[in-house]
Structure 1
Amino acid sequence: MEKLLLLLLPVPFGIGFLTPGAASEPVPGTVVFSYTDPAIVESSGLVARDDLVVTVNDSGDSNRIFTVDPATGDTVGVTRWQGDARDIEALAPVGDGEVYVGDIGDNEAKRDEIEIARVPFGRGDQEVDAATYDLVYPDGPHDAESLLVHPRTGQVFVVAKEFIGRLYAAPEDLAEKGRNELTAVDEVLGIATDGAFFPDGEHLVLRNYGQAAVYTWPDLDRVAMVDLPPQQQGEGIAVTESGEVLIGSEGAHSEVLRVEVPIEESTEEPTDGSPAPTPSPDSGEAVPVTAAEDRSLWPWALGGVAGVAIIAVLLRSLRPRS
């Protein structure tokens, strides 16, 4: 029993960081459509472009993406490309009528490298020879489900799916041959399952299974935190060209919802005496990828300290009495 309790020791710290600060009441969600295609059973990545929605199944599927008409929920095109998928988890818009597909999942943290492929989407089925790029972390393998592309620079970012999430930046110019080394940028939302930039290039949104957080770019100041509507297994998030936010879920015939997510900082004075966030500077250039700065972890620490105290009491109660 003591060994079991010790194994649980890190859990309170993770939970404390997973919910970093108070979120607002759940935002309302409006159903846009439901997938009608029985082949879409584990919708993970989500992109909304050109009045179409693009999605991809989670691990276990082949190299293919689905283009869906949101007016009906019907699949209107499937794109396949070469190679064998290992653990596809994410999509991000890039170029005209194309997406990056992120084969970036790594539940056991054993992959030497992850891969993204540049794939066209649209109406009609097609098979393509896609450009692929290998990415490698600077600090060892990580599991990830979030892939983002800056709308102005085209720079690629990956978010590690961990209790303390971390954003990694790819080189601005990706090379098809050899490895492209990622650089750690900063800590972000824990257990992130997807993310996207807003059209202004000055804000991005990340989600986990129940919440969404909005950050300025490139400062990564968190300006909003909202609870999302309940979903079977909410994973995907997309931002349209007009700035609307869509969220998706795994499951057969799952729904895609439209939600209102604020991207502006509150104009009210903070009640805890902390200074208001500084507005983000212009974000037209690629982010300078330097060593990540330390950020406040007091919610994570508070949850951890409480958990340690509880475990200590339990351990004391298990000691044999004389």
Structure 2
Amino acid sequence: MPEQAVPPRSAVARSRWAPAGALGLALALVPALPAAATAEETAAPSVRCQVTDPRLTELSGLVDVGDRMLAIPDGGDQVTVAALDGACRVTDVTAVPLDPYDPEDLGVGADGTVWLADTGDNNATRATVALIALRPGGTTSLYRLSYPDGPHDAEALLVAPDGTPYVVTKEVLGASHVYRPAAPLVDGGTVALADVGTVTFTLTGTPGGPVGRAGQLLVTGGAVARDGSRIALRTYTDAYVWPLAGSDVPGALAADPVRVALPPSPQGEAVSFTADGAALLVAGEGLPGDVTLVPVPAVTAEPSAAADPSLSALLEDDGSGPSPVTAGIVAAAVATVFVWIAGRIRRRRAASPPPAA
């Protein structure tokens, strides 16, 4: 997809989206389920099913809504929402009538609104990012957002129980910012975002991902439990779960989370709570791609031991690596080059810039 800056779009994007009957996007969601009972032991992860449909080669967002899963692919000049059955077969696909820039995550509000986070920005050049809302009445709304401190790449969306969307950035050094709209969203207009918190991730030693140990610091997806009791963020290698009281997402993220190491995957980007809230579902790019069930202990996180969040540690090996200053510079450069290369690849995939909305 194109990586040049995209100016705000002023056209109001509101239209019917089809097929309204076949997919339905689980817009008439069942009422929230009670929280699952706490298990004494956490079971091992298990593969629920395997995605093989080429339309989801770059799966980046996933939500379990009970009778189906909803998924979106990353990239491309058109955003689509796919419905998957329990065997990960695509049963329907809805093309959203808006041209995206880089959709990265997916969420479902308590009122049944399906939210898509068009927030990817590998090269940090976008003037605005966007949220796309697919409402139960069949309308599509486009909301443009601007950061108060310049562009960010972001791949995680958290939709609070009260409907407030939160965007969590993807930061090379592990200090992800949390943003929410500073004013009511305006369909077709642009609203400023407010920085409401920071979540710091440290090296965990969990293998996986496309960028080595740096992947342990990069946030690639977010999820909110259907009953509103917990929220989760994931990196390429680990998932982090916090208890949620009401809709205070910043307050929840300020506490210590429960960390769960995820099974190694080439590029894990999607995370969802199961419909009953008892576990997480994780998935990522590449075919065939596993949708893996990851049980989560329902316990209060203990304060974690101090860990080295610096990128110098990414290159250390049993204490014999380069100096912290040199290693930090080299590792940051490596991560930057990777992001640049990924942007170039996506740009080449796009035949032409997306048409104006």
Q: Shift in Å at residue 198 of structure 1?
A: 2.5
Task: After superposing the two structures, state which structure 1 stretch, 235-244 or 106-115, moved more.
Answer: 235-244
Find the residue that maps to 1:39 and give its secondary structure.
Answer: helix
Residue 246 (structure 1) aligns with: 281
Equivalent position to 2:264, from 223, 230, 236: 230
Residue 150 (structure 1) aligns with: 160
User: Could you list the per-position Cα deviations for residues 25-70 of structure 1 after superposition, in whole angstroms to 9, with x for gaps in the alignment?
Assistant: x983211111242221110011111321111111125121111112
**Pairwise mapping of residues 1-322 of structure 1 onto structure 2 (< 5 A)?**
28-70=44-86, 72-119=87-134, 130-151=140-161, 153-162=162-171, 163=173, 164-171=175-182, 173-188=184-199, 189=201, 190-217=217-244, 218-220=251-253, 221-243=255-277, 244-266=279-301, 299-300=308-309, 309=323
TM-score, normalised with respect to structure 2: 0.64
Q: Residue type matched to 1:34 in 2?
A: Q
Q: Residue type matched to 1:144 in 2?
A: A
Contact 1:28 1:229 in 2 (8 A): no
Q: Residue type matched to 1:299 in 2?
A: D
Residue 15 (structure 1) aligns with: none
Q: Shift in Å at residue 165 of structure 1?
A: 1.0
Contact 2:158 2:165 in 1 (8 A): yes
Q: Shift in Å at residue 74 of structure 1?
A: 1.3
Contact 2:312 2:325 in 1 (8 A): no
Q: Which has the larger radius of gyration?
A: 1
Could you say what the CA RMSD is over the residues aligned between the two structures, in angstroms? 2.9
Contact 1:235 1:250 in 2 (8 A): yes
Q: Residue type matched to 1:181 in 2?
A: A
TM-score, normalised with respect to structure 1: 0.71
Question: What percent of counterpart residues are identical?
Answer: 33
Question: Closer, same or farther in 2 for the Cα pair 1:134/1:27, shift >3 Å?
Answer: farther
Q: Residue type matched to 2:148 in 1?
A: P
User: Could you list the per-position Cα deviations for residues 144-190 of structure 1 after superposition, in whole angstroms to 9, with x for gaps in the alignment?
Assistant: 11011012x11100011002111112247422142222111222144
Q: Structure 1 unaligned runs (5+)?
A: 1-25, 122-127, 273-296, 314-322
Q: Shift in Å at residue 205 of structure 1?
A: 0.9
Question: Closer, same or farther in 2 for the Cα pair 1:205/1:27, shift >3 Å?
Answer: farther
User: Could you list the per-position Cα deviations for residues 115-136 of structure 1 after superposition, in whole angstroms to 9, with x for gaps in the alignment?
Assistant: 1111269xxxxxx651111111
Question: Closer, same or farther in 2 for the Cα pair 1:44/1:61, shift >3 Å?
Answer: farther
Q: Residue type matched to 2:167 in 1?
A: V
Q: Residue type matched to 1:198 in 2?
A: A
Q: Shift in Å at residue 262 of structure 1?
A: 2.5
Question: Closer, same or farther in 2 for the Cα pair 1:165/1:98, shift >3 Å?
Answer: same
Count of aligned pairs between the two proteins = 254
Q: Residue type matched to 1:192 in 2?
A: V
Q: Residue type matched to 2:258 in 1?
A: A
Question: Closer, same or farther in 2 for the Cα pair 1:226/1:172, shift >3 Å?
Answer: farther
Contact 1:79 1:120 in 2 (8 A): no
Question: Closer, same or farther in 2 for the Cα pair 1:310/1:161, shift >3 Å?
Answer: closer
Q: Residue type matched to 1:161 in 2?
A: K
Task: After superposing the two structures, state which structure 1 stretch, 257-266 or 109-118, moved more.
Answer: 257-266
Question: Closer, same or farther in 2 for the Cα pair 1:34/1:304, shift >3 Å?
Answer: closer
Task: After superposing the two structures, state which structure 1 stretch, 39-48 or 79-88, moved more.
Answer: 79-88
Q: Residue type matched to 1:45 in 2?
A: G
